[in-house]
Structure 1
């Protein structure tokens, strides 16, 4: 039995050699990575067994809790190179408020556009934050906050809008309602205001990210009422979902090189991550992959969370995945251990059979 236990322990050690996930939270907690900066500082959240969310930053095994604005919950959405974080936190009146967090200064409430709530969604290297906030009539509008004041970006003729991305040139993307009530992906600049990016033939679309070249990623309804990820190059909308055989697709991030990342959902199957790079569509296998896909960094990391069957754990994976499996030294050790275990089982089985034939006790 001691031999069996030893072999089993080695098998477990082989599995443990895989990439570690999470922020070191307990086994009853969940974690999610929202963004990661060039210094390796991850912005995310930890959720306890009661569903309470807490904004955190994480690096090298150390978790820093960002706190709240007087309420119980908070979460992060984005982080820039300086380590400035934005997201949402509950205040003492149980209202969600957009925040700016900086080490040493803590969490600061960014206010609203006249209503009760707001959320910070994106931040650029200058620290300008984009998101959306309630207005006086009860609707919500996209905003930018430059550190001093919150600016209302308006709509495309409808009642509501929200911002999801901002680049270092101050260009903002998101979705805004038309006069007929349908939402459209938009790009906003201080000089030209809000521009409708159109659709892939359907009624609605939404932008989720923009890089410094002005390339926009998002998702649009098609003429046959399916959702397809898109890349807008500044002049036209390119259908990325058409490169994917099955399922609905949604782009969630874009980096400086124009690589687009997103998620594919097909019926009740687990979602898959896709990466559009150098004109090619790559779909990550679901083995050790992301369940929730977020952003892609300039050095090719994709952040989000994977699902272990009972909880989510924060995880970053490379954007380029070689689908041809390459054996590792530990794999050869595993095969050797399996052969040894099989040989041990066969030997014991033979002894058991031989003792049975001779009428002796069949014991190990």
Structure 2
């Protein structure tokens, strides 16, 4: 039997119906048996994506107008592509022959520019802004990882930590404000916001031990996930003053915000048992797409209001869907209470049906 949905999410499902718009495959051509995953898309429709073969080897690509451009591998077997800006610059990482990694910037006109390290052997590229300023994390001589920012000048800036040994940068906006995750003096990893004026600031948690920031928009709104006192992970937003539990609008199970666009629309993932769902928060409404109806991987949302990621059916397929696609919506307030009452009434009717039927079990959907 599939596990029953929590009551709150059951309300969300009732509101959805069959009017939801399905994800749209991007049509990235790949050899048989290979998976495709889209990580980002710019305003011109250029896509930063990854192709993975059956042996787990990955290669970062630029996809535009039906054409796939391999970003290069420097003789190794792995590369990826994490983000793309409106200039067509791609940020990613490539594995070298000796097993080390290098962050890189790629443009179809100039090719690959390898980004260095912070004194250690490897670096990874995670995000960039519209000016081509990149962020990621790199080895320092002692062997730990530190977040960096790279403006193309040839030297990476070490952003430091929150008192611990490691940090990772994942996003940057036009003001060069950087977000990511860093260890504090107790070794716990917390979401951080770095600004040139204030340096690295701890954004705290939702009452738990750890948190992680994934993206920031030009207005300074940060998104990510935080542990709660109950050891659940919840998607959050942070406006620079306080952290808001966005996942509470969905239910008491794990949710993770992965990106935010300049309109303040947030996307992410919800895990309910073995089912993986996607969500969109926009216009003060939370939309949850059931597994198989939305994206399996929800990696980004752009300013054209497209959600970017991949669907899953015996393998990953790069796809997008409109952030406004209808599925399951909760509006809160008295309307939500009314719907909860309706769900409880339906549950009671289900119990009566089960008793009268003797042996007929009413199956939930998990």
TM score, norm. by length of structure 2 = 0.81
Instruction: Choose from 129, 144, 169 the match for 1:163.
Output: 169
> Could you tell me how far apart the structure 2 residues matched to 1:74 and 1:143 are?
19
Instruction: Choose from 299, 306, 311 the match for 1:294.
Output: 299
Is residue 63 from structure 1 mapped to residue 64 from structure 2 by the alignment?
A: no
Structure 2's unaligned 5+ residue stretches are 1-21, 329-366
Query: 1:24-66 CA distances to partner (integer Å, 9 max, x unpaired)?
Result: 1133100100100000000001111221111101122111111
> Could you tell me how far apart the structure 2 residues matched to 1:287 and 1:132 are?
34
> Could you tell me how far apart the structure 2 residues matched to 1:274 and 1:94 are?
37
Structure 2 counterpart SS, 1:241: helix
Q: 1:288, CA displacement in angstroms?
A: 4.0
> Could you tell me how far apart the structure 1 residues matched to 2:148 and 2:251 are?
37
Map 1:204-223 to 2 at 5 A.
204-223=210-229
> Could you tell me how far apart the structure 2 residues matched to 1:283 and 1:299 are?
20
Instruction: Choose from 304, 321, 325 the match for 1:321.
Output: 325
Look at both structures and tell me which one has the larger radius of gyration over its CA atoms: 1
Residues 184, 103 of structure 1: alpha-carbon distance in 2 compared, 3 angstrom cutoff: same
> Could you tell me how far apart the structure 2 residues matched to 1:18 and 1:86 are?
25
CA RMSD of aligned residues (A): 1.5
Instruction: Choose from 40, 46, 51 the match for 1:41.
Output: 46
The answer to which structure, 1 or 2, has the higher relative contact order (CA under 8 A, 6+ apart) is 2
> Could you tell me how far apart the structure 2 residues matched to 1:246 and 1:304 are?
25
Report what 1:128 is aligned to: 133
Asked if structure 2 preserves the Cα contact closer than 8 Å seen for 1:171 and 1:188, the reply is: yes
Report what 1:82 is aligned to: 87
Is residue 253 from structure 1 mapped to residue 256 from structure 2 by the alignment?
A: no
Report what 1:184 is aligned to: 190
Asked if structure 1 preserves the Cα contact closer than 8 Å seen for 2:162 and 2:183, the reply is: yes
Query: 1:116-136 CA distances to partner (integer Å, 9 max, x unpaired)?
Result: 111000000110000000101
Instruction: Choose from 141, 145, 148 the match for 1:140.
Output: 145
Report what 2:5 is aligned to: none
Asked if structure 2 preserves the Cα contact closer than 8 Å seen for 1:22 and 1:32, the reply is: no
Asked if structure 2 preserves the Cα contact closer than 8 Å seen for 1:97 and 1:109, the reply is: yes
Report what 1:226 is aligned to: 232
Asked if structure 2 preserves the Cα contact closer than 8 Å seen for 1:292 and 1:306, the reply is: yes
Structure 1's unaligned 5+ residue stretches are 1-16, 325-364
Report what 1:362 is aligned to: none
Report what 2:112 is aligned to: 107
Q: Runs in 1 of length 4+ with deviation above 3 angstroms?
A: 17-22
Query: 1:223-266 CA distances to partner (integer Å, 9 max, x unpaired)?
Result: 11100000001211110111112420000000001111000012
> Could you tell me how far apart the structure 2 residues matched to 1:159 and 1:18 are?
41
TM score, norm. by length of structure 1 = 0.82
Q: 1:104, CA displacement in angstroms?
A: 2.2
Count of matched residue pairs: 306
Residues 22, 48 of structure 1: alpha-carbon distance in 2 compared, 3 angstrom cutoff: farther
Asked if structure 2 preserves the Cα contact closer than 8 Å seen for 1:248 and 1:264, the reply is: yes
